Structure 1
Amino acid sequence: MQSSPAALSRGLNVRHIRFMALGSAIGTGLFYGSASAIQAAGPAVLIAYMIAGAAVFMVMRSLGEMAVRHPVAGSFSQYAGRYLGPLAGFVTGWTYVFEMAIVAIADVTAFSIYVGFWFPDTPRWIWILAVIFFLTGVNLLSVKVFGELEFWFTLVKVLAIGAMIVGGAALIVFGIQLGGQQPGLGHLVDHGGFMPNGFGGMLAAFSVVVFAFGGVETIGVTAGEASDPKRAIPQAVNTVPVRVLLFYVLTLTVLMSLFPWSEVGSNGSPFVQIFDGLGVPGAANVLNAVVITAALSSINSDIFGAGRVLFGLAQQGHAPSSFGKVSKRGVPWLTVVVMTGVLLVGVVLNAVIPEDVFLVIASIATFATVWVWAMILASHVAMKREIRKYALAPSEFPSPLWPAASIAAIAFMALVIGLLGWFEETRVALVVGAAWLALLWGAFALWVRGDGRRRPALRDETSPLPVVAAGEVREEVGSGR
């Protein structure tokens, strides 16, 4: 395949990015991981989703403000490098790639479990291998093909969620009994109360809840390939509260009102389990097709997000320069190939430890997710301070409730990291995360040279002057005023 150091193709339009924003909220974390969260917290998991959703909204508004101001490939890794220093940019970028790699393995694991509902006797790794090669081919074609596929994947998911909410609500309102279960809001308090496992149970659910939202920051990565980032990014980011309320809080409220939460197991999707248990004709098979679509969408986004951040790292001198080359269609093809290799690890893991792989992977991914979010928030804080210090032009898409909401979001990230270490089931994530950060620090010290140790130059869309390393452009700004 021919390649050249050309720029990425801006093939994502407003429709693509808006649906990517919707689709990022409907994936493995909802359709599969929500079972573990429900088991830990009971109906109180709804509060956990609302709290985490509020924190995620602040992360996305912070990222959105930076992305509109600096619409670049690699987005938050470059922002961290610019505002927090090259080491922070290096660690943030590679941790996001690590996050996407781990999440992708979790997604292919969930995909194989879903397919197992129809073909229980076929080894999981066969399905994983097939989906990896299919989505690799899609991502090598062009970003427009990726965007169109995500649009249709998301449309299927959104329509299915909408139909399920409407259908479930009708069963509850009219009291239609199915499968020996009488639907009603009473299910939310009749099986041990609304918070059956206490406040500690709700805290224990946060690791899976945060995992469910992991990947929403991919919207920031699209800034480098959006045809109109100033319009597309704000529209996508502002849908976060609606997504949290609709796709998580309302959906799980309906599900737990239809079926006792205490009977939701961890073998397969709770959505499929519930409708299969209710005996709704054909509903389990339809929902299984939907959750498979959701898994395909998530894996597709994982490959895209990791690849574009690797491209941005290469531009900063933080990754091999070959990652910064693109195909004739404007696709960083080598990064796609690398992600394919990573996903093949999922094939091995599912062949060796198919029963235990998801929880371990999800907790490690949660650590990486929270680290990236914390770096986004910290970069945003540094940017806001610089804007105020040098009296720069205000942002076109400012984050609300500054600075109180940002401080609260950072505190939430610290809480989640602490919870990972507190609970024995997720403690491995803290160990792996600490080892990963130490490895990155050593890699930066040994291998990053020259320009890679300088803050990246980013174009400031609110000013005709380029924003580069602190102290370099400030003299120009001062002399211009």
Structure 2
Amino acid sequence: MQNSSLKQGLNKRHVFFIALGSAIGTGLFYGSAGAIKVAGPSVLLAYCISGVMAFMVMRALGEMVLHNPLPGSFGRYASNYMSPFSGFLTGWTYVFEMVLVCLADITAFATYMGFWFPEVSPWLWTLGITLVITGLNLTAVKIYGEMEFWLSVVKIAAIIAMIIAGFGIMLFGFGTATHHATGIHNLWSNGGFMPNGWEGFIASFSVVVFAFGGIEIIGLMAVEVKDADRNIPKAINAIPFRILFFYVATLAILMSLYPWNKIGLEGSPFVTIFESLGIKYAANILNIVVITAAISAINSDLYGAGRMLHGLAEDGHAPKKLNFVSKKGIPVLSVLAMFCVLVVGVVLNYFIHDKLFFLIAAMATFATVFVWLMILLSQVCMRLRLPKAEQKSLRYQIPFWPVGSIVAILFMVFIIVLLGFFEDTAAALIVGIIWVVLMSVIYFFMKKTGKNTGIKAH
């Protein structure tokens, strides 16, 4: 009898810092440059709006997790509350999302390493980090939790230090030797707060939403978390604070230190800004931090995809062998399947490293928003199925029901449609549509040929 049970190896400390660190990765340290280029300082407002919507998604997921914790989380909820087809599509699209995000993260990692070793080919860095992270994900879940805890501590400490240092630079006049003045006036004095108009502001959402992709991993952790009833809500409730502090405050400081229109896309904006201010030593420290963030993101991506593949296998939506779990509680074959996919990313980095990050980020945005949309729809369907008395007794409810859910759903639809209006992201929408059509064909082919696509009773 093969083992298929995940183990509770994550405690309160792990969950809190994984939650804090899950949205602090390449989307902030690297991808933010693209968003700033498109929207200018108004990108701060885009992060606030997207952050609120991400919080609503997590509250919807939290409501379902606390009501009925399941392996595979939102993939299983889509199956239970909508249809087995919805669960199949949601689960595999999340795996697709994690594959894309992971490819983006290993690409960013290679870019960061190029800051110190420009002569080394990027594909070598992507291969090295893929092997290391896969090895770590094959250990006990507690090891994953410990690693994420310390990586998150480094990221959070660095951002706090950078914000304090940024205030110091502005207050004590550092940067006057450069060709620009530092100060909060940079947020509106270089073409205004919305220099590229409403079009630029709206266009930035495709990059901004990508930055929050991955926070849904909290829902996947539920069955491996001790005292989930207390720890999961605390982790989710921390989201608004970390969005305001780690994204809005950080980017406001960066654009105050350096005019937004001079922030390039070569490497991390965090590193290039401090280099431009003549603080070479700080640039090296920050490069260590962004490398840490990339490693953390890759680690979480691999963890999330492995757990979702395990859940899909339990439902008969993936090869049954992926359901196997080692004695340490690790879905070994699911992790190894992800490793094989990441090798493709290594090959892509060999051929098209320079343009790979933003191409993948756009495609990952579609997958992220689609998964969020399915989470919200699952929550609405769950609510409508429950008797009114049971609805009121839910331990952890989404705010402003039903208006909150409806507004969040409309926002997700808006983002998906938005991708088709801009040249840089239109291809991502086309790929997303092809993906949904392809998975739909596969599902109904499996169903017609008698393959198991049903959901177990719970």
State the TM bucket, normalised to the shorter chain: over 0.9
**Structure 1: which 5+ residue stretches go unaligned?**
459-481
Deviation at 1:176, TM superposition (A): 3.0
Check conservation: 1:78, 1:456, Cα contact below 8 A.
no
Supply the distance in 1 between the matched residues of 2:432 and 2:455 (Cα, whole angstroms): 25
State how far apart, in whole Å, the 1-side matches of 2:455 and 2:313 are: 14
Letter aligned with residue 163 of structure 2: I
Equivalent residue number for residue 312 of structure 1: 311
Corresponding residue for 1:437? Answer: 436
Give the Cα separation in 1 of the matches to 2:292 and 2:277.
23
1:20 counterpart letter in structure 2? I
Matches within 5 A, 1:152-301: 152-180=150-178, 181-301=180-300
**Alpha-carbon spacing, 1:239–1:94, altered in 2? closer, same or farther (3 Å):** same
Distance 1:383 1:272 in 2: 46
- Residue of 67, 81, 84 corresponding to 1:83: 81
- In structure 2, the CA distance between the partners of 1:234 and 1:451, relative to structure 1 (3 Å rule), is farther
Q: How does 1:42-441 map to 2 (within 5 A)?
A: 42-180=40-178, 181-388=180-387, 391=390, 394-441=393-440
> Equivalents in 2 of 1:15, 1:131: separation in Å?
26
Question: What's the CA shift for 1:182?
Answer: 2.3
How far off is 1:218 after superposition? Answer: 0.6
Distance 1:396 1:346 in 2: 42
CA contact (8 A) 2:310 2:322 kept: yes
Secondary structure at 1:348's aligned position in 2? Answer: helix
Q: Deviation string for 1:281-311 (max 9, x for gaps)? A: 4000000000000000000000000000000
Cα deviation digits, residues 221-249 of structure 1 (max 9, x gap): 00121121111110110011001101110
1:382-436 alpha-carbon deviations (Å, 9 max, x no partner): 1111123685672111111111111111111011111100001100111111111
- Is the CA contact 2:38–2:201 (under 8 Å) kept in the aligned structure 1? yes
Q: Give aligned pairs, total.
A: 456
Instruction: Report 1:3-42 matches (<5 A).
Output: 4-42=2-40
The CA deviation at 1:14 is 1.2
- CA deviation digits over 1:147-200, x for unaligned, max 9? 000000000000000000011012223333354142111111111111000011
Please report how far the alpha carbon of residue 379 of structure 1 lies from its aligned counterpart in structure 2 after TM superposition.
0.3
* Amino acid paired to 1:12: L
Instruction: Tell me, in whole angstroms, the C-alpha distance in 1 between the residues paired with 2:390 and 2:355.
Output: 53
Cα displacement string for residues 356-376 of structure 1 (whole angstroms, at most 9, x for unaligned residues): 111110110000000000000
Instruction: For 1:357 and 1:184, locate their aligned partners in 2 and report how far apart those are by CA, in whole Å.
Output: 34
Distance (whole Å) between structure 2 residues aligned to residue 446 and residue 117 of structure 1: 48
Amino acid at match of 1:417: I
- Aligned mates of 1:393, 1:184 — CA distance in 2: 49
Contact 2:66/2:396 (<8 A) preserved: yes
Quote the RMSD (CA, aligned, Å): 1.4
Residue aligning to 1:474: none
Query: Which amino acid is the alignment partner of residue 121 of structure 1?
Result: E
Mean Cα deviation higher: 61-70 or 104-113: 61-70
Cα–Cα, structure 1 residues 424 and 176, in superposed 2: closer, same or farther, change >3 Å?
same
Within 1, Cα distance between the matches of 2:22 and 2:201? 23
Determine the structure 1 residue equivalent to 2:457.
Answer: 457
Structure 2 unaligned residues grouped into runs of 5+: none
CA contact (8 A) 1:178 1:279 kept: no
Give deviations 1:305-358, integer Å, cap 9, x for gaps. 000000000111111110111111110000110111111111111111111111
- The one-letter code sitting in structure 2 at the alignment partner of 1:165 is I
CA distance in 1, matches of 2:299, 2:369: 21
Q: Is the 8 A contact 2:110 2:123 kept in 1?
A: yes
1:197 is aligned with what amino acid? N
Partner residue of 1:461? none
AA aligned to 1:147 is G
Structure 1 residues 407 and 179: alpha-carbon distance in aligned structure 2, compared to 1, 3 A threshold: farther
- Letter matched to residue 387 of structure 1: L
Structure 1 residue ranges, 4+ long, deviating more than 6 angstroms after superposition: none
Counterpart CA distance in 2 for 1:6 and 1:51 is 40
| Superposition TM-score, scaled by structure 2 size | 0.97
Work out whether residues 82 and 456 of structure 1, in 8 Å CA contact, stay in contact via their aligned partners in 2. no
Matched-pair contact (CA < 8 Å) for 1:10–1:226: yes
Structure 2 CA distance for aligned equivalents of residues 37 and 392 of structure 1: 40
SS in 1 for 2:418: helix
| TM-score normalised per structure 1 | 0.93
Q: Percent identity?
A: 53
Residues in 1 aligned to 2:280 and 2:121: alpha-carbon distance in whole angstroms: 27
Secondary structure at the counterpart of residue 354 of structure 1: helix
Distance apart, 1:451 and its partner CA? 9.0
Q: For residue 457 of structure 1, what is the amino acid of its counterpart?
A: A
CA distance in 2, matches of 1:253, 1:184: 10
Q: 1:389 to 1:350 in 2, by over 3 A?
A: same
Indicate conservation of the 8 Å contact 1:60/1:217, yes or no: yes
1:70 is displaced (CA, Å) by: 1.5
- Distance, in Å, in 1 between the alignment partners of 2:456 and 2:368 is 23
Aligned to 1:475: none
CA distance in 1, matches of 2:166, 2:321: 51
- Give the structure 2 partner of residue 477 of structure 1: none
For the 8 Å contact 2:3–2:327, the answer to whether it is kept is no
More displaced stretch, 337-346 vs 294-303: 337-346
- 1:401–1:281 CA distance, 2 compared to 1 (3 A): same
Distance 1:154 1:333, change over 3 A: same
